[in-house]
Amino acid sequence: MHGVWQRRLMLTLLLAPALLWLFALIVLPHVDLALLSFRERTAPREYQAGLAQYRTFFTEPLYWHVFVRTAIMSMLATALTLVIAFPIAWVITKVARGRASSLLFVVCLIPFWVSETVRALGWLILLRESGVLPVLLAKFGLTAVPVELLYHDTTILTGLVYTSLLFMVVPLVSSLESLDDSLIEAAYDLGANGLSILRRIVIPHAAPGITAGCIVVFMLTLGNYLTPNLLGGKNSQWFTELIYTQFIVRFNWEQGAAFGFLLLALSTAIVALGLRLSGQRFVDVMRRS
């Protein structure tokens, strides 16, 4: 009896930090924000429960527009990241051997030693009108005068893909590493070509890794504030900027909280849809990655 009691105490103590963290930093603020989002101001310092904040979202076209735009751009960034990261992960796991393989991995990792702000500022130096790339383009006569490469949607996408690349490469590498080379050889031996090996052997095997990478990258992109703001400027129209504005500029916490929950609902819905479409289970995906 003594042993059982002791084991229970041990388990409780071990779990305590995690539970405390979960409760204090995730559950409590969300409950508070949820309460905030469901109240409306009737007079100074007077509030009543209501759906006014959510109603505003649906009646104001700008909010809608930014919301949908953020979702589509995030999906696009996720897809691009996957397309770029897959060959990188393939080279790291299947082409490079030994030291070269670890070296390539480190090369992917190194940019992340620098803070995201500094990396975004690096892009500014490269892409602004008087920056390195426009000046070079003008010098080689590809453009008449240096052009402004910042503040385009493409710039935002570039920055987002660059920021997310590692989070896609890591799960892909771990799932491709477990792919036995002899399966690829066997498929080749049975008459398959590169494309059918990719479609029938590699992608089904790597599916949990692909899904995990996509979920992580999509979440990070959707919730990113810094990169769209710095690289897109006023044109970025990212949903997190609306939330920021409501909280910090307008001091309208009620509206900001409602936007926050809408973003949470959006990301949950899209991830659920993605899992449904790819036939994956969330638990399996998280276990494999």
Partner 1 sequence: MSTAEPLTTADPLSAPDLGVVGLSKQFADHRAVDDLSFSVDRGSFFSILGPSGCGKTTLLRMIAGFTLPDGGNILIGGRSMQGVAPNRRPVNMVFQHLALFPMMNVGENVEFGLARRGVQRGECRRRADAMLQRVGLAGASHKRIDELSGGQRQRVAIARSLVLEPTLLLLDEPLGALDLKLREHMKIELKQLQASFGTTFVYITHDQSEALVLSDHVAVMNRGRFEQRGTPQELYYEPATAFVAGFVGANNHIVGRLTGVDGAIAEIETDAGWRVHARKSGTMTVGGSVEAFVRPEVVSVEREAALLPQDHVRYAGEVQSLLFDGANSAVLLTEERSHFNIRVALPQTGRLASLEVGERVSFSYDPRRAICFASDGAATSATGSSMPASSHG
Q: Which residues are CB-neighbours of 50 under 8 A, at least 6 positions away?
A: 38, 39, 40
Q: What is the smallest separation between the CB atom of 67 and partner 1, expressed in angstroms? A: 37
Nearer to partner 1, 200 or 281 (CB): 200
CA distance 100 to 102: 6
Nearer to partner 1, 144 or 190 (CB): 190
Nearer to partner 1, 63 or 86 (CB): 86
Q: Where are the alpha helices (DSSP H) in the chain?
A: 2-21, 28-37, 52-59, 61-90, 99-109, 116-127, 132-139, 153-177, 181-189, 194-197, 203-222, 226-232, 239-244, 253-278, 282-288
Nearer to partner 1, 200 or 250 (CB): 200
**Bridge partners, residue 48, by sequence:** 40
Interface contacts to partner 1, rule CB under 8 A:
180, 182-183, 185-193, 196, 200-201, 204-205
Q: What is the smallest separation between the CB atom of 104 and partner 1, expressed in angstroms? A: 23
- 40 phi and psi angles, rounded to 5 deg: -130, 150
Q: What is the smallest separation between the CB atom of 207 and partner 1, expressed in angstroms? A: 8
CA distance 126 to 281: 42
Q: What is the smallest separation between the CB atom of 99 and partner 1, expressed in angstroms? A: 17
